[in-house]
Structure 1
Amino acid sequence: MYGRFTLYFPIEILPEIFGLSDLPGLVPRYNTAPTQAAAVVRSTGSARRLDLLRWGLVPSWAKGISVGSRMINARSEALPVKPVRNFINEPTRKETSYPGKRNSHL
């Protein structure tokens, strides 16, 4: 299970790699877990921005956000055939990138 990832390279290189103009309070993280804030690069029209978002997939029908920590291993290829697809709203999907490295040893 890959439940954690790291962001340990120099933060200063992110603007050059992703074409960002701002890094809102970003610091290296060595053990980011589900439900914690994770750095996400999102496309906003012609520009990109970095936001800190809560890591987890929370379906629209969920009664609380705690379900997000249990859905970290949802496989993209299974989305069309499994009930978890109910949380995806196709028209609002945007380009995203997650700067960091997956921890395969956990």
Structure 2
Amino acid sequence: MCGRYFALQSPELYRRFYGYAEQPNFPARYNIAPTQPVPIVHVENGSRHFRLVRWGLWPSWLKDPKDFPLVINARVETMTEKPTFRGALRHRRCVFLADGFYEWRREGTGKTATRTPFMIRRADGAPMALAGLWENWLGADGSEIDTAAIVTTGANGLMAAVHDRMPAILSRDQVEPWLDTRGVEPASAAALCRPCPDDWLTLDPVSPRVNDARNDEPDLVVPLEQPSVAPEAPGIPAKDRPRSSDEDAQGSLF
């Protein structure tokens, strides 16, 4: 699952990295949460463009979003089949502008369970290209809202020490085919969304202040004075590994 992330670099750096025409100005954000406006890049008429969308996808066929579950992630294993994602996967793929994300290691059950937050960044400091899907929803009253979800895949060795899912992180070379909805079929695009190599990432514990989405300050991305987590999960018995929360909010139907 990916339920929080951050975007810290300058708007101009993102613009140069992704090559879109617009020149938006937006502040660094240290704790981006679902339902908030988030920046993406997508392709329209052969050119890349910047767009602000709501994080939490509403499919275009949705009549009334009031009772629709919060869909912040799309599982790569099933997004080619599920009606919530099929249209967006074929016609509206995007990349979330990000520098890293947070994940929580859940240990124990019930009232004794603990959740420890970790920050995951690219080791080389480059923007982290998170594969996404977006939709343009039109209401019966003429209202119009752009929404999006982050694509998730199974965890790589490093992430498996914390969680069994992770965002699909694209290499710079993979961004072009992912965004090319005219030339790259959905199945080929989905094949790009696989666990990234372990050495792309660093993983460090951070303050539990990140648990509250109202906190959005620079200290959230300061690692605690503990060593980075090593990719040791493959040696942990499956029954004792961190459990997935990828279906918690959106259910198995979507």
Residue aligned with 1:21, SS: coil
The one-letter code sitting in structure 1 at the alignment partner of 2:74 is: A
List alignment gaps of at least 5 residues for structure 1. Answer: none
Residue 63 in structure 1 maps to residue 64 in structure 2: yes
TM-score (norm. length: structure 2): 0.35
CA RMSD of aligned residues (A): 2.5
Match of 1:86 in 2: 83
Residues of 2 paired with 1:57 and 1:21: CA distance?
A: 25
Counterpart residue number, 1:103? 102
Aligned-residue sequence identity (percent) comes to 25
Could you say which structure has the higher strand fraction? 2
Distance in 2 between the 1:91 and 1:73 partners?
Answer: 13
Where does structure 2 lack aligned partners over 5 or more consecutive residues? 104-116, 118-210, 212-254
Larger radius of gyration: 2
Structure number with the bigger relative contact order (C-alpha 8 A, sep ≥ 6) is 1
Runs ≥4 residues deviating over 6 A: none
What's the TM-score, normalizing by structure 1? 0.76
Aligned residues: 102
Correspondences of 1:8-87 after superposition (within 5 Å): 8-59=8-59, 60-61=61-62, 63-64=64-65, 67=68, 70-81=70-81, 85-87=82-84
Give me the whole-angstrom Cα distance separating, in 1, the residues matched to 2:9 and 2:90.
30
Distance 1:24 1:71, change over 3 A: same
Given that 2:22 and 2:50 are in contact with CA atoms closer than 8 Å, whether structure 1 keeps it comes out as yes
